[in-house]
Structure 1
């Protein structure tokens, strides 16, 4: 029997495309005031250009996962085409209506792309390489955020807006075309392991207690991350932290997150310390938020967000890797559940913190409490995964057999 080799070129192209989807999502995050003036709308309206993504993700996460489990290459190809189409639509007319329509189309595509992070690792990588593949694809979501921060720092003015959109559109179109070409590469695995793709995949995913607890964990971690990235600037402003300094703090946070997501999950899997690392991430996030509640400032903000980024952001690839290991042939649906709960957490925690933006101490303490809720959830995982989280479950949650998947 010949030994198979991983198709790393597909993973690299996919990771670049994932980064591009994040660029489209957050395109207006650093230029809200300029965009509002350019399109003649309020900054609240500009906020919907980003908010439409998590809102549609909550609705489409599970259907997108089911599509990927049934027809992986077709579903991901649709996601690539819709993302590129949405990006181009924003350039058709220089008005808010076309931009919102384009962002909405790209938002519809995003679940088909992000839910594929675990599935593409299973289809194109040998088993020992899958944790690294998931880590690279997950880290690319944060890398895309870093690209946005750099682009908006270089092109911050209203006069730069069309150039900013043109650059981000080119990134989306080029990477989408590259992905469509890469998907022609033969897969290592052409089958699923659920008895019938569709509703059975959802039952397989939800019946697993580990996956349900991982959903609770990402509710907390996503909520903390989004609340911090959204409100760090206004929460630190009363302490004399300028908008420019806050931007640098957030950029350092994202860069640290990319580094941590590329390094720590791989080490954790090799040494079987995924759960201790998850606990460390939420504990450090809580401690950092308490520090900012009582000692806000540029230096404490920089240090706290750096450490939080390095230790908390790797929780995403770790959770996705554990999900891939438990989900059998329902990886797309299980990943959809993870992203669904994460986006719900983002919306809930960010909304609560938004109401507290004029009370920075209380807001940071609320974020700290949400982070700490992840500790008992992780301890519940220990009872199911055992002392060595890299060990497989004693037996599958449901009977599984190989069946062909339409590709």
Structure 2
């Protein structure tokens, strides 16, 4: 059967899509580094500002599966709607008052799953199989790069101009994506499930996808819990807020570099399993070290290692789900993202109950993370030839 033909605009699509993905994270974390300043600006409590970020995972949990099905049916239309709603939300935030900020953040929170869930479908529809790990790694790394941009801009630009800059960037990114999407997916027509429910069943019918849904909540939850609670858990040990900020920045920078490189290397050399295992083990050791000797040096080394070795688990898991169910890559990705976001909510919530006992919180996080070790599939599953129903790809116009 004929395979993929890489079009000249395929990597242009991946690049434009990755830019929009970065903007989703930039907008998500707009207020997180400047919570007190934003609370004063809008004359509300810090908890009210916290909800401007907390609504994102809640909307993701609600929309992940239906968005995944929509991506399998109408890839370009769904992603482009997400980019436009994202830009619209940024424009709404320019209004004066907390109500405008919350309404704008709600729109951008709704847009996020329409974009980020499409990482694997975009790779599957526009690139040949050998190039998909690189595209998935690039698009995933771009989301973490958006987080870095959020921290840098928030600490160097006042809130009013910051919102304007983000609105302009979101509009430009949406425009670039619309132009890039003029390129047709270079896919071979193939039979597909007849209904949206059949899409979901086909994705869930893959044993690899189900295993990924069991695995991903742990690393996703561990990363989110560490980045959310690092400051209150380490402050009793004398770690300052500025030092915590440096640790988190190092964590995300290492994650950006590693996500762009390590999954590609693992796919090329059949090292997906060992990469996943090393990432989980390192995260467990980092949490134990922080429980035993909480300090700035230990936190810097631990979070740097977590960023470099645990964060690449996400693009690897996404690539594996696409390989296992390429005909319904969107539905598979939706299931994986749903599992990951749910894990983030649960693990972060449970860890937050132990903020008054930092050592116990870190040990609990280590124990939760260790649960992922037996969930990593065998090497022949992760690094062998793709198996499962329908190893063909359709043109999802």
Do they fold alike, i.e. is TM over 0.5?
Answer: yes
The answer to whether the Cα contact below 8 Å between 2:4 and 2:187 also exists between their aligned partners in 1 is: no
Whole-Å separation in 2 of the counterparts to 1:2 and 1:350: 43
Structure 2: 5+ residue stretches without partners? none
For residue 202 of structure 1, report the CA deviation from its aligned partner: 0.3
1:145 equivalent in structure 2: 147
Cα 1:284–1:162 change in 2 (3 A) is same
CA contact (8 A) 2:124 2:326 kept: no
Counterpart in the other structure of 1:278: 276
| CA pair 151-404 structure 1, distance change in 2 beyond 3 A | closer
Conserved? CA contact 1:221–1:282, under 8 Å: yes
1:249-260 to 2 correspondences below 5 Å = 249-260=247-258
Which of the numbers 335, 342, 345 marks the counterpart of 1:344?
A: 342
Q: Secondary structure, in 3 states, of the residue corresponding to 1:30?
A: helix
Structure 1 21/371 Cα, relative in aligned 2: closer, same or farther at 3 Å? Answer: same
- CA separation in 2, counterparts of 1:130 and 1:404? 16
From 44, 47, 52, the equivalent of 2:50 is 47
Q: CA deviation at 1:391?
A: 2.1
- In structure 2, which of residues 304, 308, 311 is the aligned counterpart of residue 310 of structure 1? 308
**Residue 202 (structure 2) aligned to one of 201, 204, 207:** 204
Residue 308 of structure 1, CA deviation: 0.7
Q: Secondary structure at the match of 2:383?
A: coil
Which deviates more from structure 2 when the two are superposed, residues 122-131 or residues 190-199?
A: 190-199
**Residues 386 and 94 (structure 1), Cα distance of their counterparts in 2 relative to 1, 3 Å cut:** same
Instruction: Note the 1:159-238 alignment, pairs <5 A.
Output: 160-189=158-187, 191=189, 193-238=191-236
Q: CA 1:280/1:404 → structure 2, altered by over 3 Å: closer, same or farther?
A: closer
CA distance in 2, matches of 1:193, 1:231: 47
Equivalent positions of 1:98-137 (< 5 A) are 98-137=100-139
Please name the residue that 1:5 is paired with.
6
Corresponding residue SS for 2:187 = coil
1:220 counterpart SS class: helix
CA gap 1:260/1:142 in 2 versus in 1, 3 angstroms: same
Mind listing any 5+ residue stretches in structure 1 that lack a counterpart?
none
User: Are 2:65 and 1:67 equivalent residues in the alignment?
Assistant: no
Matched residue SS, 1:210: helix
3-state SS of paired residue (2:30): coil
Query: Normalising by structure 2, what TM-score?
Result: 0.96
CA distance in 2, matches of 1:193, 1:337: 22
Task: Give the C-alpha shift of residue 89 in structure 1.
Answer: 0.4
**CA distance 1:192–1:271, change in 2 (3 Å):** same
Q: For the structure 1 residues 262 and 100, does the alpha-carbon distance in structure 2 shift closer, same or farther, using more than 3 Å as the test?
A: same
CA-to-aligned-CA distance 1:284-320 (integer Å, 9 cap, x gap): 0010010011111111111111111000000000001
- What is the Cα deviation at residue 142 of structure 1? 0.8
Deviation at residue 191 of structure 1 after TM alignment? 4.0
| Root mean square deviation, CA, Å | 1.7
Q: Is contact 1:195–1:403 with CA below 8 Å preserved after alignment? A: no
Aligned pair count?
394
> What does residue 87 of structure 1 align with?
90
Q: What is the CA–CA distance in structure 1 between the aligned matches of 2:298 and 2:393, rounded to whole Å?
A: 53
> Which residue of 2 is the match for residue 20 of structure 1?
23
